[in-house]
């Protein structure tokens, strides 16, 4: 009961992460537009269609190469293109085709936008088109850059200061910065606040994975971790729903940010994890949390932390030297993920999987926009298609193991990339199905790696490991749009790159240890030994019962705990 309440309270906020990650899909949409008109319009002509206002023309607009012919009240005839306008020297007759001389001018009077779908976006508010179009294209990559930095910063802070404090700060930050985005006064303030929003959103998601992983026991760890992704996907579906209902970007942003409020009001009640408290030798605080867990779960047999850790404490008291004292109080950093060859090889492989999963996820997602139809429904389905892949991943991880599930799906995604290259371009339905299958397979690997990373590393660097992995993940998401731009070089270049990366990741995953059914490790020594190597990161033999003690505490929080213990 205790773990369930903590879990659902924590993962509810993951919806907000999905919301903010995808909010720019509709917030920064660029509608059809043409240059502004230097006067009052008397008539409008578009091919053979004559209308009284430009707003009536947008339903006929089919290409960026189109232009609109307008006649002003003073008799002048202008051709309005997207990034320029030209005045006809001879304006005797209003016709669409004109072979005479023209004077070309810039769009000094602003732009006219198609507001049939969106009343206002950041593109229309700050005219992020034509020579300022690159500013609009930077909105999502800059957000992902903030996600990248936030993953590392808050992952490290969570290992140093605790998971609970970071959850408090990042959840409050999502609400504050989310609302602040709606009230930014120009493009640059918008980008700065969105960057800060990205950092706290990423920080929350990274620490939330570690938080729920350390609270749930071995039996529920797989499903609990994977369904954090399900709530993230639900956030994507919320974006589609709100985007359909609200068509003004700042109102849309406020509605999306309000979803964060319920958790902000109750997150202060969440406790610190016993794992982190034990790693900091705060045994009394850990005992208090475990006592609360016992009362909630109606476990009558008390669990004494001092009894479980007595052997470890005796060893530390009797055998501690000055060097060991320095080691025990050492503040860990990212270099600890490369403390020896075996841990370093593990880190490189894990980082590659994170990068490949994100790259493939976003390349397949960007390709899905060619589905056509209703864009809101398409985005909703893009979020919904992730739900079954996480269920399959959970079943596979519990039955086959983490590594044995990850390998085939990585290789399968590589094979699908190759398959798509051989499908004729006029087979649109088959291409769409293949792209969705590719996203499904890469989605399994993408969702699985969070839990797998948390299990591969010990408590002292677990948040840092997940945070650095998420950094590589966001690097992949930043690279993905530029990867898609390579379609201009060769239409299958993005798929070729994803296929190569997925195949390489699948092969290297073979060397990783299996973590199914094993207790979480607490030291780098134990993490190294999990890979069947006895070489220590520090040369110190770990206490014999430290891992067992933590495993008992893990098991204690469940109602199925043995009364003999």
Same domain (yes/no): 51, 108: yes
Alpha-carbon dihedral sign for residues 45, 49, 53, 57: negative
- CA dist 273 and 285 (Å) reads 10
Average pLDDT of 541-564? 40
In a domain, 456, yes or no: yes
Is the pLDDT at 371 greater than 70? The verdict is no
- CA dist 463 and 154 (Å) reads 8
Examine the fold and report which residue of 92, 116, 140 is the final residue of a domain before the chain moves on: 116
Find where tokens 């990366």 sit: 501
At 199-258, the pLDDT tens digits run 999 888 888 888 887 888 777 776 777 778 888 888 888 988 998 898 899 999 999 998
Same domain (yes/no): 442, 523: yes
Is the pLDDT at 190 greater than 90? The verdict is yes
Same domain (yes/no): 417, 369: yes
- Residue 533: its pLDDT value, please? 44
Confidence band (pLDDT; 50, 70, 90) for 537?
very low
Same domain (yes/no): 460, 384: yes
Same domain (yes/no): 355, 261: no
In a domain, 322, yes or no: no
Same domain (yes/no): 80, 130: no
Token digits of residue 255 = 């509605």
Same domain (yes/no): 355, 497: yes
Examine the fold and report which residue of 81, 101, 116 is the final residue of a domain before the chain moves on: 116
At 51-70, the pLDDT tens digits run 666 776 777 776 666 778 88
Same domain (yes/no): 42, 14: no
In a domain, 311, yes or no: no
Same domain (yes/no): 23, 59: no
Mean pLDDT over each residue of the chain, to the nearest integer: 78
In a domain, 202, yes or no: yes
The answer to whether the CB of 477 falls within 8 A of the CB of 362 is yes
In a domain, 347, yes or no: yes
Highest mean pLDDT among 132-146, 266-280, 421-435, 512-526: 132-146
In a domain, 259, yes or no: yes
In a domain, 554, yes or no: no
CATH code of residue 502: 1.20.1250.20
Is the pLDDT at 549 greater than 60? The verdict is no
Confidence band (pLDDT; 50, 70, 90) for 36?
confident
pTM greater than 0.85 (yes/no)? no
Q: Looking at the 3D structure of the chain, how many domains does it have?
A: 3
- Residue 224: its pLDDT value, please? 78
Least confident of 112-126, 263-277, 413-427, 543-557: 543-557
In a domain, 358, yes or no: yes
Least confident of 141-155, 306-320, 364-378, 532-546: 532-546
Examine the fold and report which residue of 270, 296, 326 is the final residue of a domain before the chain moves on: 270
Which string of DSSP letters, residue by residue, matches 362-420?
HHHHHHGGGG-S-HHHHHHHHHHTHHHHHHHHHHHHHHT-HHHHHHHHHHHHHHHHHHH
Is the pLDDT at 524 greater than 80? The verdict is no
Which residues constitute the domain of residue 102?
33-116
Same domain (yes/no): 343, 429: yes
At 405-429, the pLDDT tens digits run 999 999 999 999 999 888 887 787 7
- Residue 240: its pLDDT value, please? 86
Same domain (yes/no): 158, 84: no
Same domain (yes/no): 350, 475: yes
């Amino acid at each position: 009961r205790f773990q369930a309440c903590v879990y659902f309270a924590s993962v509810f906020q993951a919806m907000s992460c999905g919301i903010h990650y995808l909010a720019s899909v509709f917030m920064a949409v660029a509608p059809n537009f043409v240059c502004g008109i230097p006067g009052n319009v008397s008539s409008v002509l578009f091919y053979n269609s004559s209308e009284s206002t430009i707003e009536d023309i947008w339903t006929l607009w089919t290409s960026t190469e189109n232009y609109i012919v307008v006649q002003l009240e003073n008799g002048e005839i202008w051709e309005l293109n997207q990034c320029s306008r030209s005045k006809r020297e001879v304006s005797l007759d209003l016709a669409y085709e004109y072979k005479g001389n023209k004077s070309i001018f810039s769009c000094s009077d602003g732009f006219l936008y198609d507001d049939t779908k969106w009343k206002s976006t950041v593109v229309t508010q700050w005219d992020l088109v034509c020579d300022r179009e690159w500013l609009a294209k930077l909105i999502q990559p800059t957000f992902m850059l903030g996600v990248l930095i936030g993953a590392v910063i808050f992952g490290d802070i969570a290992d140093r200061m605790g998971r609970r404090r970071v959850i408090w700060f990042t959840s409050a930050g999502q609400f504050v910065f989310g609302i602040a985005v709606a009230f930014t006064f120009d493009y640059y303030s918008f980008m700065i606040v969105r960057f800060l929003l990205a950092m706290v959103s990423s920080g929350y998601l990274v620490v939330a994975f570690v938080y729920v992983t350390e609270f749930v026991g071995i039996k529920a760890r797989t499903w609990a971790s994977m369904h954090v992704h399900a709530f993230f996907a639900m956030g994507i579906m919320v974006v589609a729903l709100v985007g359909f209902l609200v068509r003004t970007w700042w109102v849309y942003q406020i509605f999306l940010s309000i979803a964060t409020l319920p958790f902000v009001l109750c997150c202060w009640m969440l406790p610190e994890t016993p794992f982190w408290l034990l790693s900091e030798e705060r045994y009394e605080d850990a005992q208090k949390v475990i006592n609360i867990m016992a009362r909630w779960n109606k476990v009558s047999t008390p669990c004494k932390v001092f009894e479980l850790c007595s052997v470890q404490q005796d060893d530390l008291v009797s055998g501690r030297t000055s060097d060991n004292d320095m080691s025990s109080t050492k503040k860990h950093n990212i270099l600890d993920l490369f403390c020896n060859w075996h841990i370093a090889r593990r880190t490189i492989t894990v980082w590659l999987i994170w990068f490949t999963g994100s790259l493939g996820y976003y390349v397949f997602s960007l390709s899905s926009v060619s589905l056509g139809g209703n864009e809101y429904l398409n985005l909703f389905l893009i979020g919904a298609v992730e739900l079954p892949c996480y269920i399959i991943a959970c079943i596979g991880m519990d039955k086959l193991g983490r590594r044995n599930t990850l390998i085939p799906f990585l290789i399968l995604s590589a094979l699908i990339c190759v398959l798509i290259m051989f499908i004729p371009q006029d087979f649109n339905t088959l291409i769409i199905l293949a792209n969705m299958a590719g996203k499904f397979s890469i989605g399994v690997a993408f969702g699985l790696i969070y839990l797998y990373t948390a299990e591969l590393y010990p408590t002292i660097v677990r948040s840092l490991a997940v945070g650095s992995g998420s950094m590589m993940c966001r690097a992949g998401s930043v690279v993905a749009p530029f990867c898609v731009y390579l379609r201009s070089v060769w239409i299958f270049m993005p798929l070729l790159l994803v296929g190569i990366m997925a195949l390489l990741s699948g092969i290297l995953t073979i060397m990783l240890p299996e973590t199914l059914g094993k207790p979480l490790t607490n030291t780098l020594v134990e993490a190294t030994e999990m890979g069947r190597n006895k070489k220590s990161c520090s040369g110190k033999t770990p206490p014999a019962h430290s891992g067992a003690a933590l495993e008992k505490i893990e098991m204690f929080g469940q109602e199925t705990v043995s009364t003999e213990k």
